[in-house]
Structure 1
Amino acid sequence: MKTDINRREAIRRVALLMGGAVSAPAILGLLAGCSAEPGADVAATDAEWKPTFLTQAQAALVAEVAEIMIPRTDTPGAKDVGIPAFIDKMLKDAYPQDDQTRFVAGLADFEAQARREHGRAFLELEPAQRAALVKQAHDPAVEVEQASTLPIAERNRPFILMMKELTMLGYFVSEPGATQVLQYRPVPGAYHACVPLAQAGKGRTWATQTSYRF
């Protein structure tokens, strides 16, 4: 049975991680019901998931970048919860054409950077090389984002930050992301007053907090 995840809380959390703002298409797509579904395998057979906006090659690259951002550890990674399919659906159904074009062009530039620096496609590189390329694209983009005074609608975030936003949104509204990474308790339990954070849910942040606003 699917868990009812608080989407507004997920948006609030991702906004904090993105420096205070989530793009309008991401919010609208999420509140319209888009969610990550475990089992959407980007290396699918004909009987399994296929992208409807991205090409199969683009989806494979997106999947790997998402997995670098949220890797599998003792909890599911981005691929495990269906982030590639979530991103594909969000781009197709929620993002305007200008944002779609910027994402696809940025994805192509990212792949081209791998070929320029290493002479091979991104997916052919060693894991450490892949992670380094993601960091190389991500860190300067974050600096620009943090320094910007423009409204979020006018910032035209680059591919790597669009990826980050979509990956985190999809992850935190997925059932595994909310129940295994964040704390989730669908029915309130007993009240406990002052307890150490490490004792209250093993130190994890709560997936749903009705007192928050965004």
Structure 2
Amino acid sequence: MGNSHSLDHAVDKGIKIFKEIKHLRDELNHSSSNDVGSYQHQDIGPSYQQVQEEHDDDDYSRLRALAHEEALKRNDCYERSQAAYRDGDGALAKELSVQGHEHDDRMKQYNQQAADRVFEQKNQDRPSNEIDLHGLYVSEASQKVEEAIRRCQSEGQDHLVIIVGKGLHSPNHIAKLKPAIIDLVKKYNVNCQPNIPNPGCLYVEFGKGTGDLSWLDRFINGMDQNRNSDNCVIM
């Protein structure tokens, strides 16, 4: 009876590991070549060489590079974990899965440090109701926008100007930007309009309801068309 119970426990544990690895594998299959580390809504964004061109900040680029390396190591662990499970080695599969989670944690830490650094640099001399999102990925930008909205509302501000960063101007991030904007508008019941006061800005007004978001597709399409052009002054 004891052996049977142990076997059932091992099988249950194996099934759990399999489901976890399958979920991770599915996430990896949705990653593009420009977003190798995309996993559970965590962006690693474009390559760090591209970021360095834009910001010319060694520490920022170093942190993004370290995050990118951790993402590659994480993906490799998950790949090998799945292979080990298929080969019937549940212990190795679990060990590799744990290592993958550790790399994922380090990736998030490096990306958060990079995001905090570039946000501080871009916003240190700006008024409290204006934020610049250059150098941020979508999930990072959403976090900073939420913080700014709450701050502006507590200060009694009537609006917030958001400068949409070029880091959000890549194809992979453009696809995620629209739902992120919609979520924020609905969550905080704010009115949002594009290209005010300048092209590439979003103008958020408080206390006026959500308003019409029919402009959003045109705004996102415009970002897509202009991402490789120098025509957009702010973005």
Q: Normalising to structure 1: TM-score of the pair?
A: 0.29
Which gives a bigger RCO, structure 1 or 2 (Cα 8 Å, sep 6+)?
1
Q: Which has the higher helix share?
A: 2
Q: Which has the higher strand share?
A: 2
